[in-house]
Amino acid sequence: MNRSANIDWGELSVNQDTMETRPVESPWRQVVRRFRRNRLAVFGFIVLVILCILSILTPWIAPHDPAAIDLFNIQAPPSPEHWMGTDDLGRDTLTRLLYGSRVTLLVALSATTIGVLVGVVLGGISGYYGGFVDTLIMRFIDVMLSFPTLFLLIILSAYVKATIPGIVAIIGFTSWMGIARLVRGELLSLKEKEFVEASHAVGAKDGRIIFRHLIPNAMGPVIVAGTLNIGYAILYESSLSFLGVGIQPPAASWGNMLTNAQSYVVNAPWLAFWPGIFIFVTVLCFNFVGDGLRDALDPKLK
């Protein structure tokens, strides 16, 4: 009975039956290939890339000045001049949505970065050292998680100035707990591997082992969780702005645009529809990308 087998030589894979050689696919190429199989994830990624490009180019492509008031076009419906209508002060809705995307995405991405960094550091320390350090960090996480997130955000916003850096800090330092638990769980299993023992044998310091060897091997789940956290950060920023304790007018964000629109839902529904649909689509696309990354980085699918 003939049986086909492959032999890997360096960067080549050789089939014993046909003696054909082909390049061995790198791990990251495998991840990209599996990610591309998920059509919803690819769709979400494309939408997010387009949105980021539009946000970057907003000062050059916005059709109007975001602060320009036109008293002759107050709450004007969508028209060739104002594609998405105007608000209660006659300001162009499309222009303010584009400028609002810059604020909302900046806050979400920056806050998620802070949350991931804090979570990785504390989770890495907790999982590696264990014992009293692990207990102390985990109990602190339990205390943080005992507060409803939105309630905690509102309390903190009363003590922090409602600026972009302030909102980033509030969301970032209240969104690291899940990442920390995830990293801790990964390191509890990874620190028992042979390469960690080898690092100890050659005299590597704890910090080098944690951040050079262990955490890079745990980054797959962290990337997925961070991507999903971006969607939550957008919702938190929008919620704070909607409640009046987030980004303050005249600066535009999708959340405070919804706040301004709530009194005109009947007479001018487009004022609430457009920022609402932008929030919905953006969060949905981040969730699609997160699900796609989770499947692509799952070792069981390799």
Which helix (DSSP H) or strand (DSSP E) does residue 74 occupy? none
State how far the Cα of 126 lies from the Cα of 121, in Å rounded to an integer.
9
Contact, 278 vs 55, CB < 8 A?
A: no
State how far the Cα of 51 lies from the Cα of 111, in Å rounded to an integer.
18
Rounded alpha-carbon distances, angstroms, from residue 271 to 13, 56, 84, 144, 146: 59, 23, 8, 36, 36
DSSP state of 81: S
pLDDT of residue 33: 84
* Region of 203 on the Ramachandran plot (φ > 0 left; ψ -120 to 50 alpha; else beta): left
The 3-state DSSP class for residue 86 equals strand
* Residue listed under structure tokens 């909607």: 242
Which helix (DSSP H) or strand (DSSP E) does residue 117 occupy? helix 93-129
| The two three-digit tokens of residue 237, written as one number | 């920023």
> What are 6's strand-pairing partners?
15
Q: For each successive 10 residues of the chain (302 residues), what is the average pLDDT?
A: 44 52 65 85 93 93 86 85 86 91 91 92 89 91 85 81 85 90 87 76 78 81 86 87 81 85 83 90 91 74 48
pLDDT of residue 13: 52
Whether omega before 250 lies within 30 degrees of 0, making that bond cis, reads yes
pLDDT of residue 264: 84
**Domain boundaries, given as residue ranges, for the chain:** 1-37, 42-301
The sheet carrying 21-23 orders its strands as: 6-9, 12-15, 21-23
Give which of 110, 153, 105, 75 is closest to 252, Cα–Cα.
105
What backbone torsions phi and psi does residue 63 show, to the nearest 5 degrees? -70, -20
* Residue listed under structure tokens 């602060």: 67
The 3-state DSSP class for residue 9 equals strand
Structure-derived torsion over alpha carbons of residues 287, 293, 298, 302, reported in degrees to the nearest 10? 140
Q: Beta-strand (E) ranges in 79-190?
A: none
pLDDT of residue 10: 44
Contact, 225 vs 178, CB < 8 A?
A: yes
pLDDT of residue 17: 53
The domain made up of 42-301 has a fold known as MetI-like fold (1.10.3720)
